[in-house]
Amino acid sequence: QRFHTAESKTVALEGAGSWAEGKYRLELRTEDKFGKAVTLTKFFTLYNLKEKTVPDHAIEWHSSIKDAGEPGQTARFAWGSAAKDVYALLEVYRSGKPLERRWIRAGKKKELLELPIAESDRG
């Protein structure tokens, strides 16, 4: 797929909506103004919250869904494991001080973790 940076700063990955969950490699190749070859390689993970399994058979996987907001809203994170029984220690800090500490569990699936955003969370 051809792409010109003078016309746009983003590139659409055609058909990505139908790709399977997993790890992917994106490679962009071009020439600089001196004719020298330039290559950029990026690795990324595609996931679908509607799918129950964890992408790429990961022992531990997590991703922010909504990590900022206003008081009264909820921060949302997805996490999970491809292993049968996995426990993780969740620690929540506000202003550098521990607020909450608890064990959370996942087993061969994704879990949704929701944390309320309080007035005391304002920066």
Q: Which residues of 38-66 are buried (b: 16+ CB within 10 A; e: fewer)?
A: eeeeeeeeebeeeeeebbeeeeebbeeee
**Residue 106 reports pLDDT greater than 90:** no
Domain span at residue 71 reads: 55-121
Would you say residue 102 lies in a domain? yes
Which of 72-76, 112-116, 117-121 has the lowest average pLDDT?
A: 117-121
Would you say residue 65 lies in a domain? yes
Would you say residue 32 lies in a domain? no
Would you say residue 44 lies in a domain? no
> Do 109 and 94 form a contact (C-beta atoms < 8 A)?
no
Would you say residue 60 lies in a domain? yes
- Average pLDDT for the chain: 89
The total domain count for the chain is 1
pTM exceeding 0.85: no
**Residue 85 reports pLDDT greater than 80:** yes
**Residue 90 reports pLDDT greater than 90:** yes
Report percent pLDDT > 90 for the chain. Answer: 42
**Residue 76 reports pLDDT greater than 90:** yes
Confidence of residue 89 (pLDDT cuts 50, 70, 90): very high
Would you say residue 41 lies in a domain? no
Looking at residue 103, its pLDDT comes to 95
Would you say residue 84 lies in a domain? yes
